[in-house]
Amino acid sequence: MDNLTAITVARGDGIGPEIMDATLAVLDAAGARIKPEFIEIGESQYLAGYSSGISQQAWDSLRRTKVFLKAPITTPQGGGFKSLNVTIRKTLGLYANIRPCVSYAPFVQTLHPKMDVVIVRENEEDLYAGIEHRQTDDVYQCLKLITRPGCERIIRYAFEYAQNHGRQHVTCMTKDNIMKMTDGLFHKVFDEIAKQYPAITTHHMIIDIGAARLATRPEQFDVIVTPNLYGDIISDIAAELTGSVGLAPSANIGEHCAMFEAIHGSAPDIAGQGIANPSGLLLASVLMLVHIGQPAVAQAIHNAWLCAIEDGIHSAELHHAQSQRIAVGTQAFAQAVIDRLGQQPKHFTPVYYSGSPASNGSETTVSANSSPSELLFKSPKADKKMVGVDVFVHASDTSADFLAGQLSALTTSAFELQMITNRGVKVWPAGFAETFCTDHWRCRFAAPGTNTITHTDIIHLLEALTARGIDVIKTENLCTFDGERGYALGQGQ
């Protein structure tokens, strides 16, 4: 029996093979005890007919090793191809995406020399559910799904991460002034969980001012936790602020598997030139080594990398006209790191990783099963009552008043037509002539008074609508949960 840890490795597309070869060369020279299983994913697999960009053998390897070192891949534009990155994260349950973004001034030019931010991005939900529909000639829809267990898991992860890594402050960023139910839930759960970590200070910011402040005063942030889309965007901004998107690693952590990658993409504009910065993937491999219980090797590589940066060695995208430093290619940069293995940085504080196996120590995992009393993953069953239905209708060349006339005539004893909105804004009753309307109408039918309705009532309503030639796109039930409204009002309602 050898003592090598099997890991799955994908060399990826674009600059992927170049930066992966550089990374594996450093891992080999540093004595990482790993046994790579190479898989093909991405562009070649899409073209080979795997519409998801990954074969069954590749899945088998990932499920066997549970550790994935992945170079970036190219997602073909359009053509119905789903993003393989999102598919892998979700299929393997990698709910937490950890993106440390650190400045290396004065050796890497940046406007923000004191920046040291960790972005904890929710990795499975939000608009990345990928549930999209074309509903009318004019209107396309993407569903934003935010769940209580998803919020609890990522937010607890952020607090556990802060606690385990000696960080003092966690900022939550959402857009809950607009999305009061989805982002509102994320914010609410953040406030609930924050109470359980009194030693950590907290703050909530609306994402727009939060992103602006991150861009201008990043030194004010420590750990940031945020839903998927905002996290995706602000982590690229944060990495670029440190000097280059090519510097930042990311760890995608789940209950059973973990994936380590650079945050950047396959950079087709510089592929094949041997000039890409391998640092993002190399630092991701450092996170992987800590995860698989090889902290000493991780530490040696990280410190050697800091030495190379201190010695002024860097890749082309970090170079600038006044630079006194040495721009080198991808392999030469890797060799510079190899040459410094065993050395300690003099300017930067040397990195220390505590000797711990994957499931404890500096590695943060949050299990849905580990402590049910503390982790509120199962929402208590609420008293749910159906009080109405939103019927979405495709109708061109019409007006809100005309449509309301047609629909009011159909109203049964179970319902009354309460309002019509177009793109969310109320256009009936008492709409404004100034409001621009598309061919997509939401017609809200509500039970009168405190009455409730049944699914059969909705079926009868739909039968009556379709009998009149009305093109129903979909319905959404309107429910209360323990008496609390489970749906948003129309804008202007």
Q: Is the torsion defined by CA of 194, 195, 199, 203 positive or negative?
A: positive
| Encoded tokens for 365 | 């995992």
Is cis: bond before 429, omega within 30 of 0? yes
- Report d(CA 306, CA 359) in Å as an integer: 27
Nearer to ligand NAD, 214 or 276 (CB): 276
DSSP E strands in 185-257: the ranges are 201-206, 223-226, 249-253
Nearer to ligand NAD, 13 or 363 (CB): 13
For the bound state, the minimum distance from the C-beta of residue 391 to ligand NAD, rounded and expressed in Å, comes to 37
Nearer to ligand NAD, 271 or 425 (CB): 271
Nearer to ligand NAD, 132 or 192 (CB): 132
Nearer to ligand NAD, 15 or 96 (CB): 15
For the bound state, the minimum distance from the C-beta of residue 278 to ligand NAD, rounded and expressed in Å, comes to 7
- Report d(CA 367, CA 350) in Å as an integer: 32
Nearer to ligand NAD, 85 or 174 (CB): 85
For residue 130, CA distances in Å to 126, 161, 310 come to 9, 28, 43
For the bound state, the minimum distance from the C-beta of residue 126 to ligand NAD, rounded and expressed in Å, comes to 16
Nearer to ligand NAD, 100 or 265 (CB): 265
Nearer to ligand NAD, 202 or 228 (CB): 228
Under 8 Å between Cβ of 215 and 101: no
For the bound state, the minimum distance from the C-beta of residue 15 to ligand NAD, rounded and expressed in Å, comes to 6
For the bound state, the minimum distance from the C-beta of residue 75 to ligand NAD, rounded and expressed in Å, comes to 4
For the bound state, the minimum distance from the C-beta of residue 76 to ligand NAD, rounded and expressed in Å, comes to 7
For the bound state, the minimum distance from the C-beta of residue 22 to ligand NAD, rounded and expressed in Å, comes to 10
Report the b/e string of 276-309 with b at 16+ CB within 10 A: bbbbbbbbbbbbbbbbbbbbebbbbbbbbbbbbb
Nearer to ligand NAD, 329 or 361 (CB): 329
For the bound state, the minimum distance from the C-beta of residue 269 to ligand NAD, rounded and expressed in Å, comes to 5
How many residues appear in the chain?
A: 493
Nearer to ligand NAD, 85 or 362 (CB): 85
- Report d(CA 387, CA 405) in Å as an integer: 22
- Report d(CA 409, CA 467) in Å as an integer: 13
For the bound state, the minimum distance from the C-beta of residue 334 to ligand NAD, rounded and expressed in Å, comes to 13
Nearer to ligand NAD, 248 or 414 (CB): 248
Under 8 Å between Cβ of 160 and 357: no
Residue at 220: amino acid letter: Q
Bridge-based pairing of strands 169-174 and 223-226 is: parallel
CA neighbor of 203 nearest in space, from 235, 173, 238, 233: 173
Nearer to ligand NAD, 75 or 303 (CB): 75
Q: Which class for 23: exposed (0-12), middle (13-18), buried (19 or more C-beta within 10 A)?
A: buried
Under 8 Å between Cβ of 290 and 298: yes
Would you tell me which residues interact with ligand NAD (CB under 6 A)? 15, 72-75, 85, 245-246, 261, 264-270, 276-277, 280, 315, 317
Q: Is the torsion defined by CA of 253, 259, 264, 265 positive or negative?
A: negative
Bridge-based pairing of strands 132-134 and 140-142 is: antiparallel
Q: Which class for 272: exposed (0-12), middle (13-18), buried (19 or more C-beta within 10 A)?
A: exposed
- Report d(CA 103, CA 161) in Å as an integer: 20
For the bound state, the minimum distance from the C-beta of residue 74 to ligand NAD, rounded and expressed in Å, comes to 4
- Report d(CA 158, CA 163) in Å as an integer: 9
For the bound state, the minimum distance from the C-beta of residue 481 to ligand NAD, rounded and expressed in Å, comes to 37
Nearer to ligand NAD, 20 or 297 (CB): 20
Nearest-CB residue for ligand NAD: 265
Under 8 Å between Cβ of 403 and 393: yes
For the bound state, the minimum distance from the C-beta of residue 241 to ligand NAD, rounded and expressed in Å, comes to 14
DSSP E strands in 268-403: the ranges are 313-315, 326-328, 384-394
Q: Concatenated DSSP letters for 228-287?
A: HHHHHHHHHHHHHHTT-GGG-EEEEE-SS-EEEEESS---GGGTTTT----HHHHHHHHH
For the bound state, the minimum distance from the C-beta of residue 216 to ligand NAD, rounded and expressed in Å, comes to 22
